[in-house]
Amino acid sequence: MSRAQHTRISVAAVGAVGVVFAVGAATASAAPSVDVHGGNTITAQVSGEKPGHSCRIAATGVETPWRPVNGDGTVRLDSGPVRHGRHDARVVCENPRVGAASVHTVGHEQDVFTGQWAPAFEFLQHHRLEFLTPREH
């Protein structure tokens, strides 16, 4: 194999690897995620959302204000005072320039617990013993 052929094969291999990395990076752009917790209040940490969008916590009887997403794609949410017990909570985000048509749920709806026994109930749920947690709403 001549030196010119070897160089062309090397360039082609490097080019192919570059294309694989570029395609991988484009397809690896993760969807936004959220980490929701109970306790005294319902809190959520959103990451990977588009800067400039707004997010809030939504649950039965819980309506929090929209909070803007920071330039790094994160926003920290807190419900403030809520009734004690189990809540089916989710985080929704929207593009404020578009409005209601752009509202989307980040992650999925989760059972969270508030009140004195919230840490114990979340422990049971985390260890798949949720049948021991109260079902009242």
Residues in Cβ contact with 71 at an 8 Å cutoff, skipping those fewer than 6 apart: 51
Summarised one tens digit per residue, pLDDT across range 115-131 is: 877 777 767 766 665 55
Return the C-alpha torsion angle 86, 88, 89, 94, nearest 10: -160
pTM above 0.85, yes or no: no
Question: Does residue 18 carry a pLDDT above 60?
Answer: no
- Rounded distance, CA 52 to CA 49, Å? 9
> Residue 49 has what pLDDT?
97
Residue 136: phi and psi, rounded to 5, are -65, 150
> Residue 8 has what pLDDT?
53
When the candidates are 2.20.130.20, 3.40.50.10420, 2.40.110.10, 3.30.300.20, the CATH number that belongs to 33-132 is 2.20.130.20
In a 13 Å sphere around the CA of 33, the CA atoms on its Cβ side amount to: 3
Summarised one tens digit per residue, pLDDT across range 19-71 is: 444 444 444 457 899 999 988 999 999 999 999 999 999 998 888 999 999 99
> Residue 30 has what pLDDT?
76
CA separation, residue 134 to residues 58, 90, 113, 118 (Å): 20, 19, 10, 11
Q: Where residue 102 falls among pLDDT bands split at 50, 70, 90?
A: very high
Query: Averaged over 100-115, what is the pLDDT?
Result: 91
